[in-house]
Amino acid sequence: MADTILSAAAKHPKPEDKSFKYGTAGFRMKANLLDSVVFRVGLVAALRSRKLSGQTIGVMITASHNPPEDNGVKLVDPMGDMLEASWEGYTTILANAPDAEVEGVYHKLETELNINPESPARVIYARDTRPSGPTLVTALVDGLKAARAEYTDYKLLTTPQLHYLTRCINTEGTPQSYGVVSEKGYYEKLGAAFARAIKGKKISGPVIVDCANGVGGPKLTELLKYLPKALEGGIDIKVVNNDVLRPESLNHECGADFVKTKQRAPPSSKAGPNDRCCSLDGDADRLIYYFTDPEHGFRLLDGDRIATLAASFIGDLSREAGLADELKIGVVQTAYANGASTKYIVNGLGLPVVCTPTGVKHLHHAAKNFDVGVYFEANGHGTVVFSPQALKAFNTKSPESPAQAGALETLRALTDLINQTVGDALSDMLLVETILAHKSWTPREWDLTYTDLPNRLVRVEVTDRYMYKTTDAERKLVEPAGLQEQIDGLVKKFKDGRSFARASGTEDALRVYAEAATRAEADDLASKVAALCKQY
């Protein structure tokens, strides 16, 4: 077997002058640089599965909201979680080994991690719609074969669908079974849960869904077959930007990242005033809502809004169900959350907020400390996780009134509707639609819950982003020395000012975020902090 890895590695040579790092979203870069990385990820997936006694590991090939010429690869742990942190390091080591040393490094990891080479290794994988996907799949399969893993190709899927399948496979036939192990099983689970959650409530008007010309388009179109139709008291979904045959259109002037960063609707949008709109990203794990207010123009309803909407709704339901004292509900955000949303959660909803570093794995982890943990990044990536105690309470509490019975049934439906493994734009969209219907709200009422502070996010090119080190959930710089004091000095001059700088985990740049009482001040603060960072 030994020389199989050696000879296979030679077919997927590493670009000599490149070094790779498993970052916030796995490996992500120009697709033509990824061949060796994906091959080696195949090897790691096999090792990880063997380490976990043959539990199935997921591999997703996607670059999410990045341009069409990029691609990426990430690993999914058995319960559908992101890869455990220590393994990011092992993956990085293997990705950077010279071709001739890959086999040696592989066996060294095997020995050091106490992995039995005879244990079974099982892997499933899928990809988004990028043209580079099929070639990278070939590299992955070569890695899996060289490591003697069993594997199943799920072809095109959204990232959250792959997370769903991974968990389903590993819980199949157990009391914790997460669902039927098939793409159809995913649609059936969501469709049935949505019908239960929405029961008796009316969804007003259509929702226009911008699919970023990515894999979310065909998958949402498929999901529609499983949802109750508008005429039968269900939902009217209008799918737009669903052109997967023109790869160059992926994420181009559309999609969740465009809408959030540009703070405007896709230029192609034909939505009228007050029309309820939302955008997915290229692999359908992010969701952003928006509408045009006849008086105030474009209004963004981002991840912070989805978090506050979900937290307030589930909080109300828990009270109605008589479970408020039993269940600890909390919200997890990052430093990019709008300050007004944090204030609203704490003062308006009376719920605790935890701030973690950027990257869903951190938020997910922190959310698990609550019975109902609502987590969203401002960019629209997030979900709600329920503790075993919460699930038990929803399932065993005997209702004392029809209202209590109704609240409990809605809560149970939500636990099936919401993807527990990872943020899922399709599932999150059905959640938002359910809540708006229950509250009889249009996006306008949703928007009125609090007023966002004007904010600006800028990307700053720097010579060495690794020079910038942070603490306090990335809200403060500790290096370069002295820079944070200067930022603090600037911030003080702005009403409601807040600003921080951190190195991106996915791009070769520094990100500077600023918010302040007015648009002009937020812009001014952001550009001043950016200029300051550049000087160092």
Ligand X SMILES: CC(=O)N[C@H]1[C@@H](OP(=O)(O)O)O[C@H](CO)[C@@H](O)[C@@H]1O
Residues marked as catalytic: 64
283 interface partner picked from Mg ion, ligand X, none, CB below 5 to 8 A per type: Mg ion
Site size for Mg ion (CB under 5 A): 4
Out of 243, 275, 285, 371, the only residue in the binding site for Mg ion (CB under 5 A) is 285
- The binding site consists of 64, 281, 283, 285, 377-379, 502-506, 511
In the three-class reduction of DSSP (H, G, I as helix; E, B as strand; rest coil), residue 412 is classed as helix
285 interface partner picked from Mg ion, ligand X, none, CB below 5 to 8 A per type: Mg ion
Query: Using CB under 5 A, which of the segments 9-17, 61-69, 343-351, 442-450 binds Mg ion?
Result: 61-69
Residue 281 sits in the site that holds Mg ion (CB under 5 A)? yes
Interface ranges with ligand X (CB under 6 A): 24-25, 64, 336, 358-360, 377, 379, 381, 504-507, 511
454 interface partner picked from ligand X, Mg ion, none, CB below 5 to 8 A per type: none
Q: How far is the CB of 186 from Mg ion (least distance, A)?
A: 17
Identify which of residues 345 and 422 has a Cβ nearer to ligand X in the complex: 422
Tell me which residues in 411-430 interact with Mg ion (CB under 5 A). none
In the three-class reduction of DSSP (H, G, I as helix; E, B as strand; rest coil), residue 166 is classed as helix
Residue 64 sits in the site that holds Mg ion (CB under 5 A)? yes
Task: Count other Cβ atoms within 10 Å, centred on residue 104.
Answer: 14
Identify which of residues 62 and 292 has a Cβ nearer to Mg ion in the complex: 62
Pairwise CA distance, residues 338 & 98, whole Å: 44
504 interface partner picked from Mg ion, ligand X, none, CB below 5 to 8 A per type: ligand X
377 interface partner picked from ligand X, Mg ion, none, CB below 5 to 8 A per type: ligand X
Pairwise CA distance, residues 146 & 140, whole Å: 10
Identify which of residues 92 and 358 has a Cβ nearer to ligand X in the complex: 358
Which amino acid, one-letter code, is at 143? G
Q: How far is the CB of 64 from Mg ion (least distance, A)?
A: 3
**127 Cα distance to chain centroid:** 16
Identify which of residues 6 and 354 has a Cβ nearer to ligand X in the complex: 354
How many residues in total does the chain contain?
536
Identify which of residues 24 and 49 has a Cβ nearer to ligand X in the complex: 24
Identify which of residues 360 and 385 has a Cβ nearer to ligand X in the complex: 360
Which amino acid, one-letter code, is at 90? Y
In the three-class reduction of DSSP (H, G, I as helix; E, B as strand; rest coil), residue 390 is classed as helix
Task: Count other Cβ atoms within 10 Å, centred on residue 397.
Answer: 17
Pairwise CA distance, residues 424 & 158, whole Å: 9
Residue 142 sits in the site that holds Mg ion (CB under 5 A)? no
101 interface partner picked from ligand X, Mg ion, none, CB below 5 to 8 A per type: none
Q: How far is the CB of 507 from ligand X (least distance, A)?
A: 5
In the sheet with 207-210, reading across from the earlier edge strand, the strands are: 237-240, 207-210, 276-280, 287-293, 297-301
Q: How far is CA 419 from CA 143, 198, 208, 365, 384, in A?
A: 30, 17, 22, 15, 8
Task: Count other Cβ atoms within 10 Å, centred on residue 350.
Answer: 10
Identify which of residues 360 and 437 has a Cβ nearer to ligand X in the complex: 360
Pairwise CA distance, residues 92 & 500, whole Å: 28
Residue 102 CB-half CA count within 13 A: 30
SS (H, E, C) 270-329: CCCCCCEEEEECCCCCCEEEEEEECCCEEEEECHHHHHHHHHHHHHHHHHHCCCCCCCCE
128 interface partner picked from ligand X, Mg ion, none, CB below 5 to 8 A per type: none
Which amino acid, one-letter code, is at 197? A
25 interface partner picked from ligand X, Mg ion, none, CB below 5 to 8 A per type: ligand X
Query: Using CB under 5 A, which of the segments 42-50, 283-291, 451-459, 497-505 binds Mg ion?
Result: 283-291
Q: How far is the CB of 88 from ligand X (least distance, A)?
A: 14
Q: How far is the CB of 43 from Mg ion (least distance, A)?
A: 25
Q: How far is the CB of 478 from ligand X (least distance, A)?
A: 18
The residue nearest Mg ion at its CB is 64
Which amino acid, one-letter code, is at 263? Q
**358 Cα distance to chain centroid:** 11
Residue 377 sits in the site that holds Mg ion (CB under 5 A)? no
Residue 4, C-beta contacts closer than 8 angstroms, at least 6 positions apart: 145, 146
Q: What is the torsion angle, in degrees rounded to the nearest 10, for the CA atoms of residue 62, residue 65, residue 70 and residue 72?
A: -30
Check: CB of residue 10 under 8 Å from CB of residue 59.
Answer: no
Residue 344, C-beta contacts closer than 8 angstroms, at least 6 positions apart: 308, 449, 450
Alpha carbon distance, N-terminus to C-terminus of the chain: 51
312 interface partner picked from Mg ion, ligand X, none, CB below 5 to 8 A per type: none
Instruction: Residue 252: name the closest of 213, 280, 296 by CA.
Output: 213
Residue 452 sits in the site that holds Mg ion (CB under 5 A)? no
Q: 238: which 2 tokens?
A: 């209008």
Q: How far is the CB of 23 from ligand X (least distance, A)?
A: 7
Identify which of residues 189 and 364 has a Cβ nearer to ligand X in the complex: 364
Q: How far is the CB of 257 from Mg ion (least distance, A)?
A: 8
User: Between 196 and 235, how does the x/- string for binding to Mg ion read (CB under 5 A)?
Assistant: ----------------------------------------
- The binding site for substrate consists of 377-379, 502-506, 511
Check: CB of residue 446 under 8 Å from CB of residue 309.
Answer: yes
Identify which of residues 235 and 477 has a Cβ nearer to ligand X in the complex: 477
Pairwise CA distance, residues 111 & 96, whole Å: 19
Q: How far is the CB of 22 from ligand X (least distance, A)?
A: 12
Interface residues with Mg ion (CB under 5 A)? 64, 281, 283, 285
